[in-house]
Structures are given as C-alpha cells and as structure tokens.
Amino acid sequence: MGTAVFEISAALFGACIGSFLNAVIHRVPQEDPSQRSLLGRSRCPRCGGIIRWFDNVPVLSWLCLRARARCCGEPISPRYPLVELLTAALFFLLAVHPPFGAPILADGTVVAAAAVAFGLHMVFIALLIALTFIDFDTRLLPDVLTKPGIVLGVLGGLWPGVAGVISNDASVSHELRTTLASVIGLAVGGGVTWAVRAAGTAVFKKEAMGFGDVKLMAMIGAFLGWQGALLTLFLGCVFGAVVGGVVALRRGFGASIPFGPYLAMGALVVLFGRDVLVRTLFDDWPRWQRENPSSLLLVLTVSVLSLLALLWLIRRGRR
C-alpha cells in the first residue's frame, strides 16, 4: 500500500513540476530580463492577463477550459498538458523502476541514499524535459540550466553516487569512487561530444553542432557516468538521424534539426534501461559477433553513417 501511494504521489508531483516546467520553457529563453524571472504570477502569453490558480491546475484546467484561455479566449497550446503528462509519466516510471532501488519500501522504511538519488534523478529528468522543448523552440540549450545540472550531477557523487562507481577497489573510499565516476562521466560526455563537433566542423567547413550540446552531454555524463554518456551519444545519433531524416523528407532538407532533444531521449533510455543495454551490448552482442565475424563491420558502418547523416542534417538546418 505504501509503495502504491508513493508511486501515485510521484506522478501527481510530476504533473505539478511539469506545470512549472512550462513556465521555465516559456520564460528562460526570453530576451527581456524581466520576462525571464521565474518568480511572480503566471500570465497569459497572448494577452498578458494574470492566470488564476484554479486555471493553472495541471491538465485538468486545460480540459475544463476546453483549451481556451479564460481571459482572452485564445487557444491554449496542447504542449502545456503534454509537458505535464510527460513529466508525470516519467516521475511515475522513476518511482516504479528506480535505478537506485525504491527509496520507500512497502513497510514505509525510507532508504536515505536511494531517496537522495531519487530526488536528483527527478531534477535530471526535469532538466532534460525543459531543455528538450527549449531546444525545439529556439535551437538553444541555456547555460542557466545545463551548468547547474553539471554541478548537481557531480555533487550527487558525494553520497549516493548517481553515476555509479568508477572502481570496485574497496581500499579506495566509496565517496571518492562515486565522485570520480561523475567527474569522468562529465569529461567523457563533454569531451567526446566536443571532438565530434570539431570533426563535423572540419568536414563540413561550418559549425556542425552547437556548444550547448557539449555542455548538455557533460551534464548527462555527470549523472550517468562515462558508459552512460557514450550510450547516450550513440542513441542520440541514431534517434536524431532517423527522426531528422523523416523531418527532412516531410519539410525539405533545409529544416533545422536540434540535437539536444535526441540526446535527452537517449539519456532517458539509458537512465531506465542501462542494465539491459549494457548486458546486450557487452555480453549478448559480443557473443553474437563472435558467432558472426562480419557483423562488426556492419555495425561500424551503420554507426558512422548515422553520425554523418545527423551532422549533415544539422549543418543543412543551420544555413
């Protein structure tokens, strides 16, 4: 019973956080400093009227108002309930399938390290959602979100070790091993992405990827460790190439393709499916490769082509 209440509470809390993320997504990219503030009452983006509290209830208000603002009657974007539902679903999934184990057991016992990790992962998910929609809107990944995320990821290594441990050597303190896991994840995530950015720029003679993507990957590495960072980059390239290809076919090859949302998608897959991915890639896959020697060349070819296709699509969109 306690576990079910915890899971439902996590989903409801996620919906409330999603409502706040809508404000973050709208306000943070604003050029006017007074409009970037996250303090103060919510206002209608159409007419500037103050939104009353009962019109700001996650999802329900949008349904009750029939997707129309009470103040001016203008349509309310379905993105608002989408962000709230997405955040609620991911927080619920985090409660059902927490990477660090359930912070609250069925008997009501609270596991301190798992509870801290749960809170840090909620922040991580919230940052990924906000950065995804901001990148879709503006093709920017604001430092005001990525840099604090990097700091939180590293600080998370001081106690629960959100990025795991870098070594199983018991002679080295657990805190040092977990902190190093976050720091090395940060360096690998940011460093490898910077190298890809530099290589793409050299090949296409034009900036192929924004530096915000490098900082986003540094943040992801701080939370997921070096293995998680590499898996995220791989999945992000695959997702970006596939989705970018579909967008290019539908809208033309000049369509702008942001990379951040696909890195965020990859990070979420790694967060919830790291064990399955690692077992598949490092146990099942090598065994299959040994049985099929020609598969290595096929995998390398697909990976390189996916990366080149994604960089080309991003570069075309920056024209």
pLDDT at 251 over 80: no
Domain boundary assignment for the chain: 141-319
Confidence class for position 268, pLDDT limits 50, 70, 90: very high
For residues 214 and 226, is the Cβ–Cβ distance under 8 A? no
Give the pLDDT confidence score for residue 80 in this predicted structure. Answer: 93
E strands within 1-125? none
% of the chain beyond a pLDDT of 90? 42
Are 157 and 177 contacting, i.e. CB atoms less than 8 angstroms apart? no
Lowest-pLDDT choice from 58-72, 103-117, 147-161: 103-117
Bridge partner residues of 75 (DSSP) = 68
pLDDT beyond 90 at 17: yes
Write the DSSP assignment of 36-54 as a string of letters: H---S--B-TTT-PBPPGG
Average pLDDT, the chain: 85
Q: Are 217 and 131 in contact (CB under 8 A)?
A: no
pLDDT in tens, 121-173: 999 999 999 999 999 999 999 999 999 999 999 998 888 888 888 877 777 88
Tokens of 291: 């049985």
Do the Cβ atoms of 145 and 130 come closer than 8 Å?
yes
Please list, in sequence order, all residues whose beta carbon lies within 8 angstroms of the beta carbon of residue 80, skipping any fewer than 6 positions away.
19, 22, 62
pLDDT of residue 167: 76
